[in-house]
Amino acid sequence: MTVFVTGGAGFIGGNFIHYHLAQHPEDRVVCIDKLTYAGNLTTLSPVMDNPNFLFCKLDICDREGVFGLFEAEKPDTVINFAAESHVDRSIEDPGIFLQTNIIGTATMMDACRAFGNVRYHQVSTDEVYGDLPLDRPDLFFTEKTPIHTSSPYSSSKAGADLLVQAYHRTYGLPITISRCSNNYGPYQFPEKLIPLIIANCLNNQPLPVYGEGLNVRDWLYVEDHCKAIDLIVRKGRIGEVYNVGGHNEMRNIDIVKLIIHDLRKSEDLITFVADRKGHDLRYAIDPTKIHNELGWLPETKFQDGIKKTIAWYLENRNWWEEIISGEYQNYYQKMYANG
Ligand code: NAD
Ligand code: TDX
């Protein structure tokens, strides 16, 4: 089987490629990635020499390039991870989010249709459901929760998600969709909360916490997300949406303190900064459907996953130091200057 993985030089796509080649060594994996600021070829260096792996630098919005690659490689399955993924960047400049997340998704599905209705999986997000109130711990997102977005990022992901459902209903494209909660683990770009806090702790820099740090996220170790996607692609029902989440809700401030204590740093590093505009209060996934239908359950407990993640950032300083010393510095200065 030949699998196209878009966005494979990024955090989750990169972890997925490592997982897939280890679990299914008989498959051929072709990675399509534009190598934006978030793409990093070092993440893929362990598999670059694998004869069953091919890397292709390509924009998923480049119709001609995408159709050419389908013609040459004849994929059986496409898994679309490629996206602009950072909420704060979408608030600064939404345009590229609409382009990559919506037009890019349509382009990949058009190619799937043109080459014999290729099996397509969309990596969506729990952010399409908007948020839940902090004082209603009894409420969770199910697959039936209405789409109700807050940021340009989540709106662009919701647009893509709906388009995927439309291609199934209108053209019969064989699709599935996963909507996952917040991931953490190796190879996550240090603009996101957990790697940002680890990197700043290690450099004794202030730790920026938005608002009062009371917003709640439902954290899942990235490998558990990869397992869920692999299961859905192989055994999921065509046309269906599956929520993926770990029942592991935590307040941002508690995550920050946990990392501080693990690294034996001081809570004095915590700096409360201006809140994110439109900041979602709480995400919480109900994963009953994927559990009942496909037997999926998260395997990594947060206490273990966060230790593994911190150890990875300690052992792979080159990977993230190279990022934070480059162009990313300009972004960081702009975003956190008035903290
Ligand atoms: P990421 O930003 O780390 O990686 C995105 C990758 O996509 C990068 O390698 C980038 O170069 C590539 N890319 C961007 N635009 C492209 C384009 N036009 N053409 C080809 N490649 C392009 O993102 P991530 O955190 O790994 O997220 C992957 C997917 O999972 C996204 O679709 C995101 O919406 C979804 N998701 C993420 C989380 C999370 O917690 N990170 C949770 C749920 C869902
Ligand atoms: O410096 C910070 N300080 C802070 O308090 C940053 C970067 C974040 N935060 C807060 C905002 C959120 O409440 O931490 C929480 C997590 O923030 P992010 O890591 O930016 O993730 P989030 O906005 O929750 O979105 C993530 O989960 C869903 C991914 O980035 C998305 O791609 C995914 O769809």
Q: List, for residues 169-209, the tens digit of each pLDDT value.
A: 999 999 999 999 999 999 999 999 999 999 999 999 999 99
Measured from the alpha carbon of residue 103, the closest ligand is 1
Q: Is 81 in the pocket of ligand 1 (CB under 6 A)?
A: yes
- Is 71 annotated as catalytic? no
Q: Is 125 in the pocket of ligand 2 (CB under 6 A)?
A: yes
Q: Is 96 in the pocket of ligand 1 (CB under 6 A)?
A: no
**Mean pLDDT along residues 210-218:** 98
Residues above pLDDT 70, as percent of the chain: 99
Residues above pLDDT 90, as percent of the chain: 95
Is residue 230 within 8 Å of residue 23, measured between CB atoms?
Answer: yes
Q: Please give the Cα distance from 298 to 334 (Å, whole number).
A: 37
Work out the angle at residue 176's Cα, subtended by the Cα atoms of residues 62 and 234, and round it to the nearest 5 degrees: 105
Angle, helix 302-315 to helix 317-325, in steps of 10 degrees = 70
Q: How far apart are the first and last CA of the chain?
A: 50
Q: Is 127 in the pocket of ligand 2 (CB under 6 A)?
A: yes
pLDDT at 338 (0 to 100): 65
**Mean pLDDT along residues 1-12:** 98
pLDDT at 246 (0 to 100): 84
CA 8 to ligand 1 centroid distance, Å: 8
Tens of pLDDT along 31-59? 999 999 999 999 999 999 999 999 999 99
Tell me which H or E stretch contains 150.
none
Tens of pLDDT along 53-111? 999 999 999 999 999 999 999 999 999 999 999 999 999 999 999 999 999 999 999 99
Q: Is 119 in the pocket of ligand 2 (CB under 6 A)?
A: no
Q: Please give the Cα distance from 178 to 224 (Å, whole number).
A: 13
Measured from the alpha carbon of residue 332, the closest ligand is 2
pLDDT at 339 (0 to 100): 57
Catalytic residue among 33, 59, 84, 126: 126
**Mean pLDDT along residues 280-289:** 98
Please count the CA atoms within 13 angstroms of the CA of 280 that sit on its side-chain side: 25
255-262: long-range pairs with CB below 8 Å, 24+: 255/193, 255/194, 255/197, 255/217, 255/219, 255/306, 256/197, 256/207, 256/209, 256/213, 258/306, 259/194, 259/197, 259/198, 259/201, 259/306, 259/310, 260/197, 260/201, 260/207, 262/306, 262/307, 262/310
Reply yes or no on whether the pLDDT at 229 is more than 60. Answer: yes
CA 223 to ligand 2 centroid distance, Å: 19
Tokens at residue 171, please? 């053209």
Q: Which protein residue's CA is at the shortest distance from atom 28 of ligand 2? A: 182
Reply yes or no on whether the pLDDT at 307 is more than 80. Answer: yes
C-alpha distances in angstroms, 112 versus 8, 26, 263, 274, 292? 18, 22, 47, 44, 29
Residue 326 binned pLDDT confidence (cut-offs 50, 70, 90): confident
pLDDT at 234 (0 to 100): 98
- Is 328 annotated as catalytic? no
Residue among 6, 81, 96 whose CB has most ligand 1 atoms within 8 A, to mutate: 81
Domains of the chain and CATH, by start = 2-334 (3.40.50.720)
pLDDT at 297 (0 to 100): 97
Tokens at residue 37, please? 């600021």
Q: Please give the Cα distance from 223 to 186 (Å, whole number).
A: 10
Residue among 11, 86, 87, 273 whose CB has most ligand 2 atoms within 8 A, to mutate: 87
Work out the angle at residue 249's Cα, subtended by the Cα atoms of residues 246 and 251, and round it to the nearest 5 degrees: 150
- Is 331 annotated as catalytic? no
Work out the angle at residue 177's Cα, subtended by the Cα atoms of residues 175 and 181, and round it to the nearest 5 degrees: 170
Residue 302 binned pLDDT confidence (cut-offs 50, 70, 90): very high
Q: Please give the Cα distance from 193 to 120 (Å, whole number).
A: 30
Listed residue (87, 241, 118) closest to 176, CA to CA = 241
Is residue 66 within 8 Å of residue 108, measured between CB atoms?
Answer: yes
Residue among 84, 192, 269 whose CB has most ligand 2 atoms within 8 A, to mutate: 192
pLDDT at 328 (0 to 100): 83
Q: Is 218 in the pocket of ligand 1 (CB under 6 A)?
A: no
Q: Please give the Cα distance from 194 to 250 (Å, whole number).
A: 12
CA 81 to ligand 1 centroid distance, Å: 5
